[in-house]
């Protein structure tokens, strides 16, 4: 059991595997940011619905977050500054998890705003998304600590 | 002056040497500082993309400003209170549009309102668009002051070229609390007889 865990760890921390994880994460972040950058007003609506920020910060957050996503994603995908980008990616994913958890705990019917903010039929927040984000946090933290 | 022993930058142009110095400095930055630098780059990116975006929004809201309203629509999506909306209903000045979920519309709604559930916009709008005139005044309502669905619909309609969407500021909640007309009787008010 321990030997299996050790070999899995060796595999995950192998340079090439870390590069691939960074590439996958980067592509995910870039893809997730595109619709939000194109429609900042719609993303601001989603941010407001989460009801976590004072109204005055909603627009600024809706503009900044996708920009951080696209910059982090690009840097990760290109394999530059992987540890710094991994740190930012981890912070972003933790923030997503907090937002999802508080929405679920408060019983809010909120659109996820994860990838698509134009559809309105897009994913609603569920604990399943929280679990998905646990995976993303694990991958980001791996790149941050071992990249 | 170049130090001959330092060689990677030696003999290169000033631009090359500056670049090499910048790269070396960056390489020494701790990860947190690099992360902060990335956030700075993101800020510049966000400022540029927002300025270039026709649907860009304001970074800082005015005290009476509403979040998520594109600069171009700022004065084109007025809000009214229930009393004014009642006048509009009585004078047939506006088409009422219910942006709530279909089940809530079926439960009760404002007389004459049509249902376009904003959460199912992609499927609901193509079915209902023929019922809505581009030139008509459209009074949009959802659950209450914080629901936001009616404001979202207003923005979509403005983007599509509809001329006069108006948002019922406190939505169905204020309308029902004021005991204004509804298609089905409202449950007795809390604390009422």
Query: What are the residue ranges of helices labelled H in chain A?
Result: 2-12, 15-38, 40-50, 55-78, 82-105, 127-146
> Domain containing A57: what range?
2-146
> Is the pLDDT assigned to residue B8 strictly greater than 70?
no
Q: For residue A38, give the chain B residue with the closest CA.
A: B53
CATH architecture of B74-177: 3-Layer(aba) Sandwich (3.40)
Give per-residue pLDDT as tens, B155-178: 999 999 999 999 999 999 999 999
**Of A95-109, A118-132, B10-24, B131-145, minimum mean pLDDT range:** B10-24
On the CB side of A55, CA atoms within 13 Å amount to: 11
The reply to whether A32 touches chain B by the CB within 8 Å rule is: no
Mean pLDDT of the A38-53 span: 91
Residues 6+ apart with CB under 8 A from B84: none
User: What is the least distance, in Å, from the CA of A107 to any CA of chain B?
Assistant: 14
What is the SS3 assignment for B162? coil
Interface pTM, i.e. ipTM: 0.88
Name the band, by pLDDT with cuts 50, 70 and 90, for residue B1. Answer: very low
Contacts of A106 in chain B (CB under 8 A): none
Domain boundaries, chain B: 11-52, 74-177
> Is the pLDDT assigned to residue B40 strictly greater than 70?
yes
Contacts of B118 in chain A (CB under 8 A): 120
pLDDT attached to residue B108: 96
User: Do A97 and A137 contact (CB within 8 A), yes or no?
Assistant: yes
Interface of A with B in 65-84 (CB under 8 A): 66-68, 70-72, 75, 81, 83-84
The reply to whether A42 touches chain B by the CB within 8 Å rule is: yes
Instruction: List the beta strands (DSSP E) in B33-176.
Output: 79-80, 95-98, 114-115, 137-141, 164-168
Counting the structural domains of chain A, the total is 1
Its pTM stands at 0.80
């Amino acid at each position: 059991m321990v030997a299996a865990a050790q070999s899995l760890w060796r595999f995950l921390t192998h340079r090439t595997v870390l590069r691939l994880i960074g590439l996958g994460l980067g592509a995910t972040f870039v893809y997730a940011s595109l619709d939000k950058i194109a429609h900042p007003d719609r993303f601001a609506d989603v941010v407001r619905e989460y009801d976590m920020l004072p109204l005055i910060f909603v627009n600024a957050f809706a503009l900044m977050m996708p920009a951080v996503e696209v910059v982090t994603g690009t840097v990760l995908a290109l394999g530059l500054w992987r540890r710094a980008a991994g740190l930012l990616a981890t912070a972003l994913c933790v923030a997503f998890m907090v937002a999802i958890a508080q929405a679920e705990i408060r019983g809010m019917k909120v659109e996820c705003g994860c990838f698509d903010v134009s559809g309105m039929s897009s994913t609603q927040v569920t604990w399943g998304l929280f679990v998905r984000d646990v995976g993303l946090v694990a991958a980001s933290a791996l790149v941050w600590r071992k990249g | 002056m170049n130090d001959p022993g330092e060689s990677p930058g030696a003999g290169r142009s000033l631009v090359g040497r500056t670049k090499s110095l910048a790269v070396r400095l960056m390489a020494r930055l701790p990860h947190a500082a690099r992360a902060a630098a990335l956030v700075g780059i993101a800020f510049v990116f966000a400022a540029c993309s927002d300025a270039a975006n026709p649907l860009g929004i304001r970074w800082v809201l005015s005290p009476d400003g509403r979040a998520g309203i594109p600069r171009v629509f700022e004065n084109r999506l007025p809000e009214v209170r229930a009393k004014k909306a009642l006048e509009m209903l009585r004078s047939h000045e506006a088409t009422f549009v219910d942006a709530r979920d279909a089940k809530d519309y079926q439960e009760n709604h404002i007389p004459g309102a049509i249902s376009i559930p904003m959460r199912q916009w992609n499927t609901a709008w193509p079915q209902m668009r023929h019922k809505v005139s581009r030139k008509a005044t459209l009074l949009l309502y959802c659950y209450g002051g914080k629901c936001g669905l009616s404001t979202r619909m207003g923005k979509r309609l403005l983007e599509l070229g509809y001329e006069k969407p108006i948002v019922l500021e406190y939505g169905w909640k204020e309308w029902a609390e004021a005991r204004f007309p509804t298609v089905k009787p409202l449950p007795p008010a809390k604390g009422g007889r």
